[in-house]
Chain A
């Protein structure tokens, strides 16, 4: 009897992965052509900007917070990077007299803007003692407002920022070629960011403090961890990642508008939750976040691949998120 219970416990703890495994299996059974190298690199490169965003949000969830502003910050930084890297031969550029900039400059600008928003969020949480939900709800609107003001200016007025510099598009959407096999740069960028973030989370004092604060803020404070400094730095890092993701997203899409990035934060939060980052704080791993992102993208792609109605896709994704959180809550109750 006891052994039986254990089995059902295990089944329950891993039920999310079992369900996702079944879903992927069904996709493959319905259409075996799904398993192709091209499909897999497609999925991974589509997951890349979302993955970078999710890595940023994950740290905040570990701190028992969240971030509703990630998508809009990504949108703003996408617009700014695109506007600085429009093709110099394009007549209606936003900055008609701008010389061709090295790619690194717009990237830095995007990262700085993202960082500033991260600092504002962090300041709100650490110093003003607001819940992250409220601060980021506010900054989300501010970022959208700034995007609209930036994009709707004379002499051109509001229009999508397009005709991007070739170098920029190649930098983002290009790939390493090994014979017939193409390895997209985007996957490489995600890998680099992941390694850096893994290092920050696991090998630095900051990372240790982050988990300590997320697990139990009072205990962390008593043991001498400076709460506000650490919180602000984690938010700053998340902002930097949004900026980087925004820079890559504009190049990937080929254009940016005031609508860019809308609702991306929800995908990022779902990826974290599916990847085992706990909303009760203090728990989460970088590989988990990556797996969450890739699995969600896999399902996204797979559902489209076998032609599931988009409306049903919303319902399936909603159920997956509820399932993920209910398992998380169950583990949390057990711990207590």
Chain B
């Protein structure tokens, strides 16, 4: 018992002593405080790694994991301000809290750049040194809708020949703006291209593969061949849907037993499924481009220049947001 306790103590201290900032950085390089809403999100971790690579040796990054909790992120921002960072890059957890965060930055006079999750325009405009870099939330839905519409028109996907596209929807979170926009605009775009749709079911699966798989299983046993499309807010859930479909004998290469599945994110797993023909398409959110934009704009802000000075970036109509475009991905490139 004693030995065990002592060894736990030993490991604890060792671990602790060995980590922390490695080496002394040049004091003159700018410091960027970066807050991610959650470290282990596929897309966000692509951005994080690309950003770290880009900044290596040139800029000091203080990275923080919000763990999906706005309270935790608030604490981290207080800490970064106390550490005198030159600029803040914030992937906010809950956009509702943006005003609180902006106020913190404002009172410390630190430039703040939100990314990926977009705060309301008036919140950004309440502080002259606040900007947003990210995609347009509804674009992912629109591109997903286009993929669905193109697929529907390209071949005979109307299994029951009623001229109506029957689909089930896998939604991310109930109140997440990305999830809300994707859910709404994917179907709206399909409808606008002249296709009638009918929703057989909608389930909130918290972006989770396992939950999506269970929901899809239930739908298959209820609706069977009536389901013509599975629309998922992200690839993780699309993957879960495909797992359930395959367990029920669908999407294994037989063209007669196929349900079209679309997602968003273009994760490696999804690309693989698309290349095998098990999945129809996804929407690519370009993590590299996002990291580049963050780096350039962040360094500008930290060095006291205007955010987009000397770059190719432009603000959209709001005058405070820089947009990174989405792209459709269906395995052709």
Contact = CB atoms under 8 A, between A and B. Distances in A.
A and B are partners in one complex rather than unrelated chains? yes
Interface of A: 8, 12, 15, 18-19, 22-23, 26, 30-31, 33, 36, 38-39, 42, 46, 49, 148, 151-152, 157-163, 169, 249, 252-260, 262-264, 300-301, 304-312, 315-316, 319-320, 322-323, 326-327, 330
Nearest to B71: A253
A177 B174 CA distance: 41
B227 to A, nearest CB: 24
Interface residues of B, number: 48
B20 A259 contact: no
A306 B100 contact: no
B173 to A, nearest CB: 7
A319 B12 contact: yes
B301 to A, nearest CB: 21
15 contacts: A12-B2, A23-B16, A42-B78, A49-B71, A162-B99, A169-B100, A254-B96, A255-B94, A257-B94, A259-B94, A301-B79, A310-B65, A319-B11, A323-B9, A327-B5
Interface string B168-186: 0000011101001000000
B79 A253 contact: no
Contact of B15 (A161, A305, A319): A319
B79 A304 contact: yes
B12 to A, nearest CB: 5
B70 interface: yes
A48 to B, nearest CB: 11
Contacts of A326: 1, 4-5, 8
B221 interface: no
Given A23-B16, A151-B174, A159-B175, A253 B70 contact: yes
A255 B117 CA distance: 15
B173 A258 contact: yes
B225 to A, nearest CB: 31
Contact of A152 (B5, B21, B175): B175
Given A319-B15, A323-B8, A254 B79 contact: no
Nearest to B15: A316
Contacts of B93: 259
Given A259-B68, A301-B75, A322 B8 contact: yes
Contact of A254 (B6, B63, B97): B97
Interface in B69-102: 69-71, 74-76, 78-79, 82-83, 93-101
B12 A26 contact: no
Contact of B74 (A162, A253, A306): A253
A158 B75 contact: no
B296 interface: no
A306 B20 contact: yes
B62 interface: yes
A89 B67 CA distance: 32
A46 B5 contact: no
A263 B69 contact: yes
A235 B93 CA distance: 32
A38 B82 contact: yes
- Which of B21, B63, B83 has its CB near the most chain A CB atoms (within 10 A)? B83
Contacts of A319: 8, 11-12, 15
Contacts of B13: 19, 22-23, 26
A335 B93 CA distance: 47
Closest 3 CB pairs of A and B: A254-B100, A162-B96, A255-B96
B68 A262 contact: yes
Given A262-B69, A320-B12, A330-B1, 5 more contacts: A19-B9, A252-B74, A253-B97, A254-B96, A306-B20
A148 B204 CA distance: 10
Contact of B175 (A158, A300, A307, A311): A158
